[in-house]
Amino acid sequence: MRSSIALLTASSLVAFAAPAMAAEAGEAMAASTAATANAAESDEKIVVEGQRETYGARNISSATKTNTPLRNVPQAVSVISASQIEDQQLRSIGEALYFVPGASVGTGEGNRDQIVLRGNSSTADFFIDGIRDDTQYIRDFYNVERMEVLKGPNAMIFGRGGGGGIINRVTKRSTLHSNRQLLTSGDGFGGLRFTGDFDQPLGDNVGLRINGLYEHGDSFRHHVDLKRFAVNPTLGVMAGPDTRIDLGYEYLHDRRTADRGVPSLSGKPLEGFDRTFFGDPDDSNVKADVHLATLATEHQFADGLTLRNRTMAGDYDKFYQNIFGNGLSPANPLNPSEIGTQVVMNAYNNDTERQNLFSQTDLIWENRLAGIDQTMLFGFEVGIQKSRNRRETGSFAGGDNRFELTGPTIDANLTFAPIASDANNRTRATVAAAYVQDQIRFSQMFEMVVGLRFDSFNLNVDDLRPQVNREFSRRDNLWSPRIGLIFKPGDNTSLYASYSRSYLPQSGDQFSGLDVNTESLKPERFDNYELGAKWEPVQGLLATAAVYQLDRANTRVANPDSSGTFLLSGEQRTRGVELGLERNINDDWQISAGYAWQKAEVTKATTACPSGDCKLPLVPRHSLSLWTRYDVLDSLGFGLGVIARSKSYASIGNRVELPGYARVDGAIYYKLLDGIEAQLNVENILNVDYFPSANGDNNIAPGAPRSIKGTVRFGL
């Protein structure tokens, strides 16, 4: 496997190494090496000498594939910067999403990142510097410059999926300047974490940056822990005043307990068992090894032309096994009133190996045609994904899978073997896409963004189960339009209206299987209509508002003729309002705040909601978040945060309700010596009991009690 990734990477670099640059690293080049190095960070962070980096971002390139002021992007975008990640000690996408309006997080069965954006759940809408990173694992922030959350369908930029939005991580690269930082952290549960960021010039035109991580963590949940380490070296080369090349490699090794939380009782999460592990923790584990190799190049020609390419090869090896509580049952089947006295346990394991190779090439032309300023984008993407999926079901010795509620942490005697419904397949997915976009600036007051993308997506599934033993395939030709109109009545204000569409093939976001029913069905379709405003009331502060309607069509419903086939008559609709406030009020005051009102429901019956009147899971009607830092002195600062959410449902069946809650966090920052800073974060200061997320009615995640994290930062 490791040799195959090396060959894959080498061949990809030869095949796709054109004089180009990554979409997310697409900043304007300057004539000199020093100027270019500074410009390279222009859309990633705004730093003033002697001043902390601000929250948020002024410019991004992920939303349009061009370096565009965030105020001129006609869609809702939230940015969690590296400084906010450090100030809050955020370590995962799930932790950060609580501070993004309109976003929720799923527990992902304790083994993967799972997001809910505008009512739509996904395990695949993740990207690194604009390149798809869709395998199921839990990502870390040790090498992240910022996390971008782009709301609504984004197929014109990112391709299939992304119906509710996408998560893009912008990674750190060499600045061609010297900078070294070491962080050491500990928490009240005995966890330790070390990260390092070393940026070193190797000459006038070459720089090496290495980010590293080691963590040994424990949890407030009994028997739940993790061990992981990662390293990410990147080499930046200025191959001339107008050409930059970046080479990178990342390895992540992650081992953790697969914790699926607690079951429900009488339509509510089970109380009094927040720290109790339901299942067998010794045999419930997650193993992930991720290798990513990247080549990014960019060359700027005369006459406003820029050519760039980003190629990424990935090798993912993921295994998880879980023995977990799947509900409560009566000890005496003849007396249902005794429900809740025993726990029903289930068990299975899943093994996935995947190799990805994606390459994107963009040509950007800044021009003035017919007296109108424009930024035109022409691009194409090619990619291939090969996967091997295997699943086995666990059988309990003696066939009895019920255990007393008084002792739900068990040492089980199980046998794992495949059953008829367990996946056993090989998949091969290929994509070839072309897209064009024009950002037209009619005047200082009026702009338009219009684009169209075509994807040819081909999926072949070799189903190796003995009772099937055949190949299925489907080809989807997807046209994804996008249009946005922007009106700027003043230098600090913009209003926009936009429409966008995305598709998801019926094989699902992980395309892990096909059958005679799904290989011929039309893709699911997502249509988003949005009105919004962006306003800078003071320099450096950005306030945003968006009103949207997102329709999801072509969801499956069982055929009423009892044939076992499906019809595509199901529909969902999410309507919402999102308000955001981010960046800095002044040099000493940083803020990230948001509020969302959402109504997400099934409007036509689906297989998961035959009645056709269900509320979508993990979508609270009201959600509020705030994090702010204020520095009272150059050496002393304070942070305060609030997360509040109204009730939501654990699953689309709406049988179990997650109660609303409010959590208060805080932090203290102190500069000990020149180059040495310390901070103390306290989460859930009021020690409230809450259940923030779930993966179905009987895998509900309890929120952590009052938690303390301490960090010391060394500038070397």
CATH number at residue 225: 2.40.170.20
Question: What type of residue is 312?
Answer: M
pLDDT at 42: 39
If you ran DSSP here, which 8-state letter would residue 72 be given? G
* Residue 510 lies in domain: 2-715
> In this structure, what token pair is assigned to residue 371?
């007296």
Average pLDDT of span 466-481: 94
Write 443-447 long-range contacts (CB < 8 A, 24+). 444/488, 445/487, 445/488, 445/489, 446/485, 446/486, 446/487, 446/488, 447/72, 447/485, 447/486, 447/488
Q: What's the pLDDT score for residue 610?
A: 87
3-state secondary structure of 462: strand
Mean pLDDT of 153-170: 94
pLDDT at res. 695: 94
**pLDDT number for residue 52:** 62
Phi, psi of 398 (to 5 degrees): 80, -5
Residue 32 has pLDDT above 70, yes or no: no
pLDDT higher than threshold 50 for residue 31: no
Q: What is the pLDDT of residue 332?
A: 64
**pLDDT per residue as tens digits for the range 120-136:** 999 999 999 999 999 99
pLDDT reading at 680 higher than 90: yes
Number of domains forming the structure of the chain: 1
Per 3-state DSSP, the chain is made up of helix, strand and coil in percentages (nearest 5) of 10, 55, 35
Least confident span in 2-11, 345-354, 505-514: 2-11
Residue 279, Ramachandran bin (φ over 0: left; ψ between -120 and 50: alpha; else beta): left
- pLDDT of res. 611: 84
Distance separating alpha carbons of residues 83 and 89, to the nearest angstrom: 10
Alpha-carbon distances, residue 443 vs 68, 76, 374, 447 (angstroms): 16, 23, 11, 7
Record the tokens describing residue 206, joined without a space.
């070459």
In this structure, what token pair is assigned to residue 261?
């939380």
Residues 6+ apart with CB under 8 A from 427: 385, 386, 387, 389, 459, 460, 461, 462, 511, 512, 513
Burial class of residue 207 in the structure, from the number of CB atoms within 10 Å of its CB (0-12 exposed, 13-18 middle, 19+ buried): buried
Q: 98 phi and psi, to 5 degrees?
A: -65, -15
pLDDT (mean) for 4-30? 37
Angstrom CA distances, 714 to 85, 198, 274, 601, stand at 17, 12, 36, 49
pLDDT band at 520 (very low <50, low <70, confident <90, very high): confident
pLDDT score at 241: 93
| Nearest in space to 453 (alpha carbons), one of 431, 439, 477, 436 | 436
Per-residue pLDDT averaged across 209-232, rounded? 96
pTM of the prediction? Answer: 0.91
pLDDT of residue 510: 85
Residue whose token pair is 């992007």: 73
DSSP 8-state code for residue 241: T
**Euclidean distance between CA atoms 169 and 175, whole angstroms:** 18
Q: Give the mean pLDDT of 79-107.
A: 95
The 10s digit of each residue's pLDDT in 522-534 is 899 999 999 999 9
Average of per-residue pLDDT across 291-318: 96
